[in-house]
């Protein structure tokens, strides 16, 4: 067999090979490629290793955060496995209880809540827990108490459970600075005081996105290893996106700036192309797409629900924290979302978050409305 090779000078060299030597060459190439793949597989950055690395940068660190996180990770793995088996194990359907927002709880919501509460308490690193599913906060007994407060929605997007659409867990973490008796004030703090936030998406793959205040990293669960592996290092949201995400069924009750913004997305007047609409109805899925592809996610207040639907502590704050850390913005229609000071643990707020430039546009519309349209 004759093989022609282009040299770096542009000349063509012809080499004579026998069929057996070609076969040998291919085998060697395959072995080399396989070893290269092995080399990648043998240096896995698991989430625990990643957080331990981060922790080693702070000499005063005692490893408490790493322990807390490993318990959150365990909760996510458990819920992921339960979500995957939901139909088989008859976990879907109503559990026959109603939660504090007057919504019917699903079996999976109940299970996920129990799993996270138990995992967090048993970590020995928490003092107050606020869950979407519990009317009152959980105060951890003194013998198992640590210095972190965790606010979380154990299974967000519950209307999507029964039809197999992506759902997720959202969490935010505050740290107590001294050893006082924990009280509600320790969690009724602005989102900018969080020390970490994240979500776990139970979708086509199971992805955990985390920020400890120094950027955003994404980890994908390798089911064969049972480990979250770093797959999306140092995530940055595109500065501007081509997607808007909102429940347009609420349009008749929107205020002027939201209505005007969505109109602009569909009928731009500056010569740009219209944006695409994508809306899953699971905040974790909609925010994850916004983080990766850019664009804007809106859950505005409206005439019917002036404060919108999403809860400040465990939906708005963690997502706003992540989006800001990735270079985007999160706005309530009035102020930066992370500056809100919640008065109640289940308080709600309108939220507009996503790519920096897209959020800038809606901020301008609200500012114009505030000035009586003078700046429009
Ligand atoms: P939930 O916590 O009861 O699941 O509700 C929160 C969810 C979010 O995931 C999502 O962004 C929103 O509700 C969707 O609401 P709607 O169905 O009104 O569009
Ligand atoms: Mg929720």
pLDDT tier at 8 (50, 70, 90 boundaries)? very low
Q: Is 376 among the domain residues?
A: no
Is the confidence at residue 75, as pLDDT, over 80? yes
Out of 232, 258, 277, a domain closes at: 232
Task: Kindly state whether residues 191 and 161 are assigned to the same domain.
Answer: yes
Q: Which of 165, 164, 182, 163 is nearest to 174 (CA)?
A: 182
Measured from the alpha carbon of residue 98, the closest ligand is: 1
Q: What share of the chain is helix, strand, coil (3-state, %, to 5)?
A: 40, 25, 35
Out of 232, 264, 288, a domain closes at: 232
Residue pair 136/195 in contact (Cβ under 8 Å)? The answer is: no
Distance 231 CA to ligand 1 centre (A): 27
Q: Does 283 sit in the ligand 1 pocket, CB within 6 Å?
A: yes
Q: Is 237 among the domain residues?
A: no
Residue pair 284/170 in contact (Cβ under 8 Å)? The answer is: yes
Distance 16 CA to ligand 1 centre (A): 67
Measured from the alpha carbon of residue 297, the closest ligand is: 1
pLDDT at 11: 43
Q: Is 312 among the domain residues?
A: yes
Task: Kindly state whether residues 94 and 118 are assigned to the same domain.
Answer: yes
Task: Kindly state whether residues 202 and 314 are assigned to the same domain.
Answer: no
Pocket test for ligand 1, best of 105, 154, 157 (most atoms within 8 A of CB): 157
pLDDT at 31: 52
Contacting residues for 81 by C-beta, under 8 A, at least 6 apart? none
pLDDT tier at 369 (50, 70, 90 boundaries)? very high
| Separation between Cα atoms, residue 162 and residue 160, nearest integer Å | 6
Look at phi and psi of residue 90 and say left if phi exceeds 0, alpha if psi is from -120 to 50, else beta: left
Distance 314 CA to ligand 2 centre (A): 8
- Mean pLDDT over residues 201-205, rounded? 95
Distance 312 CA to ligand 1 centre (A): 13
Task: Kindly state whether residues 37 and 78 are assigned to the same domain.
Answer: no
Which pLDDT tens digit goes with each residue over 287-326?
999 999 999 999 999 999 999 999 999 999 999 999 999 9
Nearest CA to ligand 1 atom 4: 157
Q: What's the structural domain count of the chain?
A: 3
Which pLDDT tens digit goes with each residue over 318-364?
999 999 999 999 999 999 999 999 999 999 999 999 999 999 999 99
Torsion of CA 240, 244, 250, 252, to 10 degrees: 70
Task: Kindly state whether residues 267 and 303 are assigned to the same domain.
Answer: yes
| Ligand 1 atom closest to the CA of 297, numbered from 1 | 11
Nearest CA to ligand 1 atom 6: 157
Domain extent, residue 274, equals: 243-371
CATH code, domain with 349: 3.40.190.80
Q: Is 320 among the domain residues?
A: yes
Residue pair 214/324 in contact (Cβ under 8 Å)? The answer is: no
Q: Is 122 among the domain residues?
A: yes
Q: Does 186 sit in the ligand 1 pocket, CB within 6 Å?
A: no
CATH code, domain with 104: 3.30.540.10
Q: Is 72 among the domain residues?
A: yes
Residue pair 151/138 in contact (Cβ under 8 Å)? The answer is: no
Which pLDDT tens digit goes with each residue over 23-72?
666 655 555 555 555 455 678 899 999 988 888 877 677 899 999 999 99
Can you tell me whether residue 156 is helix, strand or coil? strand
Task: Kindly state whether residues 90 and 211 are assigned to the same domain.
Answer: yes
Residue pair 356/345 in contact (Cβ under 8 Å)? The answer is: no
Q: Is 238 among the domain residues?
A: no
Which pLDDT tens digit goes with each residue over 90-134?
777 777 766 677 766 668 999 999 999 999 999 999 999 999 999
Residue pair 349/298 in contact (Cβ under 8 Å)? The answer is: no
Measured from the alpha carbon of residue 157, the closest ligand is: 1
pLDDT at 309: 97
pLDDT at 268: 96
Task: Kindly state whether residues 76 and 218 are assigned to the same domain.
Answer: yes
Retrieve residue 158's tokens: 């519950």
pLDDT more than 70, % of the chain: 86
| Ligand 1 atom closest to the CA of 153, numbered from 1 | 2
| Separation between Cα atoms, residue 172 and residue 187, nearest integer Å | 10
Can you tell me whether residue 145 is helix, strand or coil? strand
pLDDT tier at 85 (50, 70, 90 boundaries)? confident
Contacting residues for 336 by C-beta, under 8 A, at least 6 apart? 329, 330
> C-alpha angle 27/30/34, rounded to 5°?
140
* Residue 244, Cβ density class (10 Å: 0-12 exposed, 13-18 middle, ≥19 buried): buried
Out of 232, 260, 286, a domain closes at: 232
pLDDT at 193: 97
Verdict on whether the full-model pTM lies above 0.85: yes
Retrieve residue 217's tokens: 């990293």
Distance 156 CA to ligand 2 centre (A): 4
pLDDT at 243: 98
pLDDT at 366: 97
Q: Is 89 among the domain residues?
A: yes
Which pLDDT tens digit goes with each residue over 155-168?
999 889 888 899 99
């Amino acid at each position: 067999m004759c093989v022609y090779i282009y040299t770096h000078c542009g000349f063509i060299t012809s080499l004579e090979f026998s069929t057996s030597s070609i076969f040998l060459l291919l085998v060697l190439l395959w072995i080399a490629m396989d070893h290269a793949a092995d080399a990648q597989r043998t240096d896995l950055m698991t989430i625990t290793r990643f957080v331990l690395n981060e922790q080693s940068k702070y000499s005063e660190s005692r490893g408490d955060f790493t322990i807390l996180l490993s318990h959150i990770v365990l909760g996510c793995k458990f819920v992921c496995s339960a979500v995957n088996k939901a139909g088989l194990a008859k976990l879907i359907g109503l559990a026959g209880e109603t939660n504090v927002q007057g919504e019917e709880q699903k079996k999976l919501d109940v299970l996920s809540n129990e799993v996270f509460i138990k995992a967090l308490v048993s970590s020995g690193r928490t003092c107050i827990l606020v869950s979407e599913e519990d009317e009152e906060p959980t105060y951890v007994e003194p013998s198992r108490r640590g210095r972190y407060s965790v606010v979380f929605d154990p299974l967000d997007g519950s209307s999507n459970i029964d039809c197999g659409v992506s759902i997720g867990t959202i969490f935010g973490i505050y740290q107590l600075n001294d050893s006082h008796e924990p009280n509600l004030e320790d969690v009724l703090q602005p989102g900018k005081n969080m020390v970490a936030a994240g979500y776990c998406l139970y979708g086509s793959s199971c992805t955990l996105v985390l920020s400890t205040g120094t950027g955003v990293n994404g980890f994908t669960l390798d089911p064969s290893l049972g480990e979250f592996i770093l797959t999306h290092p140092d995530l940055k949201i595109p500065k501007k996106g081509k997607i808007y995400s909102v429940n347009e069924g609420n349009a008749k009750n929107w205020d002027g700036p939201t209505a005007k913004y969505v109109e602009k997305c569909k009928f731009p007047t500056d010569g740009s192309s219209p944006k695409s609409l994508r809306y899953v109805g699971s905040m974790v899925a909609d925010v994850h797409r916004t983080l990766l592809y850019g664009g804007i996610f809106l859950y505005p207040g409206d005439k019917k629900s002036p404060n919108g639907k999403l809860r400040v502590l465990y939906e708005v704050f963690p997502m706003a924290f992540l989006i800001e850390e990735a270079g985007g913005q999160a706005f309530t229609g009035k102020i930066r979302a992370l500056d809100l000071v919640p008065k109640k643990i289940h308080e709600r707020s309108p939220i507009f978050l996503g790519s920096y430039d897209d959020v800038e546009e809606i901020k301008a519309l609200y500012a114009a409305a505030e000035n009586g349209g003078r700046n429009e």
